[in-house]
Amino acid sequence: MYHEQERDTLAFSHQLYAETPRQLAFQATSIAEAEVWQGELRAKLTELVGGFPQESCDLQPQVLDACEFPTYFRETVQFQSRPHANIFGYFLSPKPLNNSTPKPTILCLAGHGRGVDDIVGIEEDGTMRSEYGGYQNDFALQCVANGYTVLAIEQFGFGHRRDPIAHQKGGGNSSCQPSAGAALLLGYTMVGWRVYDAMRAFDYLATRPEVDMNRLGVMGISGGGTTTFFTAAIDERVKAAVVSGYFNTFRDSILSLSHCIDNYIPNVLQYAEMYDIAGLIAPRALFVESGTEDTIFPIEATRFAVNEAKSIYKCFDAEDKIDLEVFEAGHSFHGVGAFEFLKEVL
């Protein structure tokens, strides 16, 4: 008998998902077993995102510009991630400046849009916004206002790091699609490229006397939340991660809805769901925030995924190190519970 449902591509994907065992799903019953599992899944995840260079190139850091604002200092910086790839960003220091007292520091990662300028209050014409704006609500400036030193970097494919065609199209256009496609063709992923940039950003922060590397956080929304999440899972230097507008299940978001190609990691569902990967962050701190009207990361799937991740944190006796804030809005940065959480863990 003919079944019309068999023309439904989403139903087909969900059927395959249901039939695919996650080979490295969390099953540990003790901290010792959980730590062995973390090592196995972290190694597999690193492989799946395309791996990282065996040797780090010299950072060759530069300060391109410096500005003073009423409550903070801003340096425009550049450093090398890998040969032929420079990272552009802003290093923000709250006043009063005291280099002899290292501060907790947050790496801030913007989502799709105008890129890093849009989280440090810089308008497209170069002027400064008078109040927090856009769906990202200048969260890097919010971090500074809460007393943190900040490094906000441009992600691969956004803003200052785009191809000429994206530049010609205007400020809000990314070069994610050709870049992420190129990564896949070459055996890499955009997730892996961006995570490695974040790891190199930590290497850069380690050279700055203002930074307390024992109190290192990472924060991002949307595409920045993606990089935040996978960076915290892979790089154990991260002590706290704030993931806004991303954490969900692969099944209900990335697999089921239309997303930028930069979200995709080939074969990941052969091994783990998103909440398993969250378990790689345990017992380090993880805060998730999500809007009730977020149409690309359905809120009920976020609640479910956080609850699954909490069971892994429970195995580490670290239930107080994971939290979720749900707020009444769409896909946007909220930053209320997140900063309260960071005060406790950083």
Residue 98's pLDDT is: 73
Position 4 confidence tier, pLDDT thresholds 50, 70, 90: low
Mean pLDDT of the 79-99 span: 92
Q: Is 66 within a domain? A: no
Q: Is 67 within a domain? A: no
Q: Is 81 within a domain? A: no
Q: Is 74 within a domain? A: no
Q: Is 68 within a domain? A: no
Residue 151's pLDDT is: 98
In this predicted structure, the answer to whether residue 3 has a pLDDT above a threshold of 70 is no
In this predicted structure, the answer to whether residue 329 has a pLDDT above a threshold of 60 is yes
The 3-class secondary structure across the chain, one letter per residue, is CCCHHHHCHHHHHHHHHHHCCCCCCCCCCCHHHHHHHHHHHHHHHHHHCCCCCCCCCCCCCEEEEEEECCCEEEEEEEEEEECCEEEEEEEEEECCCCCCCCEEEEEEECCCCCCHHHHCCECCCCCECCCCCCCCCCHHHHHHHCCCEEEEECCCCCCCCCCHHHHHHCCCCCCHHHHHHHHHHCCCCHHHHHHHHHHHHHHHHCCCCCEEEEEEEEEEECHHHHHHHHHHHHCCCCCEEEEECCCCCHHHHHCCCCCCHHHCCCCHHHCCCHHHHHCCCCCCEEEEEEECCCCCCCHHHHHHHHHHHHHHHHHCCCHHHEEEEEECCCCCCCCCHHHHHHHHHC
Mean pLDDT of the chain: 96
How does pLDDT run across 285-308, given as a tens digit for each residue?
999 999 999 999 999 999 999 999
Residue 97's pLDDT is: 74
Q: Is 2 within a domain? A: no
Q: Is 80 within a domain? A: no
- Tell me, what CATH number does 311's domain have? 3.40.50.1820
**Could you tell me the pTM of the whole model?**
0.96
Q: Number of folded domains in the chain?
A: 1
How does pLDDT run across 132-173, given as a tens digit for each residue?
999 999 999 999 999 999 999 999 999 899 988 888 888 888
Look up the domain containing 37 and give its range. 20-51+97-345
Residue 167's pLDDT is: 85
Q: Is 170 within a domain? A: yes
In this predicted structure, the answer to whether residue 61 has a pLDDT above a threshold of 60 is yes
